[in-house]
Amino acid sequence: MLLPLLIMGQATDIESKLKDYLSHYNADVGIAAQYFTNGETIIVNDDSCYPMQSVYKFPLAMALLHQVDQGRFSFDQEIEVKRSELLPDTWSPLREKYGMKDIRIKLKEIIEYTITFSDNNGCDILFRLLGGTAEVEQYVKNLGVENMNIVATEEEMHADWTIQFSNCSQPYAMLKLLEIFYSGKVLSEKSHKFLWEIMAVKKFGMKRIQGKLPESFVVAHKTGTSGTNDEGIAAATNDAGIVVTPENNAFGIVVYVSNSADEIEVREEIIADVSKMIWEEFSAK
């Protein structure tokens, strides 16, 4: 049995405060959060499908690990990666580590690079292993999550600015996927632990959900960040994750900041401020 379904219609005061806060920024911001301890839910601007950017590597990892659990793949399986798959014009610490050459690398390491370092080449290697983006979207739908579209690879998004907007989700959809993952019921204990640990590594996006929360809080999350277009508009500055306090209270939170002309520091501070406001609301209850 999964955790209780989200309780809609609560937290109207905090939702009003959040909307007032967001009114000071010229950006489209969608928010969804749930306090897993009591099911209280906060939803703001959930009627749009926001570009996920690299946040979609989280459902990709879940789908891949499901196949590991089914025996189709194994953590220590060596994957042959051709030089042609290590694209030079994209973010790829994996390529920087191994160089532009044919390599064989364990599946476990590719997943780690894709999640912890948000490696774009690693992401597309995993999509190819699974048979394409449609396989990941179907996996998510099979879990009962709607309003999440996974249709394009990183390479395809890099080729055309508009394509990233087709890789989108409503905040509540991603929150529900986080809730399902946190339940520990859909992946094996080994796969769940592995994904949790690589999401909780303090590498990227520390100024987002984690930014204004106590350092003692564990944040297992996946960020997503676009570039800017010719008008200086950033399509996506996102963070989605699960926060656990030292007392083992936990909440899931998704913040999508889209179509913003502000600098990255401002966009990240929006996520940090929203996360702090939400935690203060939950902890007061």
Residue 8 has pLDDT above 50, yes or no: no
Q: Please give the average per-residue pLDDT across 157-172, as a whole number.
A: 97
- Which CATH number do you get for residue 58? 3.40.710.10
The better pLDDT of the pair 40, 7 is held by 40
Fill in the DSSP letter of residue 130. H
Q: Please give the average per-residue pLDDT across 126-150, as a whole number.
A: 98
**What tokens were used for 263?**
């600098």
pLDDT digits (tens, 9 = 90+) for 199-248: 999 877 789 999 999 999 999 999 999 999 999 999 999 999 999 999 99
CB 258 within 8 A of CB 50: yes
pTM, 2 dp: 0.94
Total domains in the fold of the chain: 1
Which among 91, 40, 116 is positioned nearest to 280, based on CA atoms? Answer: 40
CB 182 within 8 A of CB 252: yes
Instruction: State whether the Cα torsion 105-150-168-1 is positive or negative.
Output: negative
Q: Please give the average per-residue pLDDT across 132-160, as a whole number.
A: 97
How confident is the model at residue 9, as a pLDDT?
A: 42
CA-CA distance, 214 to 228, in Å (whole number)? 31
44 - beta bridge partners?
31
- For residue 43, give the 3-state DSSP assignment: strand
The residue count of the chain comes to 285
pLDDT band for position 37 (cuts 50, 70, 90): confident
Percent of the chain at pLDDT above 70?
96
How confident is the model at residue 63, as a pLDDT?
A: 98
How confident is the model at residue 113, as a pLDDT?
A: 97
Residues labelled as active-site residues: 54, 154
136 - beta bridge partners?
none
pLDDT band for position 95 (cuts 50, 70, 90): very high
Fill in the DSSP letter of residue 6. P
Does a structural domain hold residue 55?
A: yes
Does a structural domain hold residue 71?
A: yes
Task: Give 192-207 as a 3 state SS string.
Answer: HHHHHHHHCCCCCCCC
Residue 3 has pLDDT above 70, yes or no: no
Q: Please give the average per-residue pLDDT across 171-176, as a whole number.
A: 98
Question: What average pLDDT is seen over the chain?
Answer: 94
Does a structural domain hold residue 245?
A: yes
Does a structural domain hold residue 204?
A: yes
Task: Return the biggest CA–CA distance within the chain.
Answer: 56
Does a structural domain hold residue 5?
A: no
**What tokens were used for 274?**
């929203």
Residue 5 has pLDDT above 70, yes or no: no
Does a structural domain hold residue 6?
A: no
* Range with lowest mean pLDDT among 1-5, 102-106, 271-275: 1-5
Does a structural domain hold residue 211?
A: yes
The HSE-up count of residue 228 (CA atoms within 13 Å, CB side) is: 11
Does a structural domain hold residue 7?
A: no
Residue 1 has pLDDT above 50, yes or no: no
pLDDT digits (tens, 9 = 90+) for 48-89: 999 999 999 999 999 999 999 999 999 999 999 999 999 999
Q: Please give the average per-residue pLDDT across 25-49, as a whole number.
A: 96
How confident is the model at residue 23, as a pLDDT?
A: 96
CB-neighbour burial class of residue 136 (10 A; exposed 0-12, middle 13-18, buried 19+) = buried
Q: Domain span at residue 129?
A: 12-284
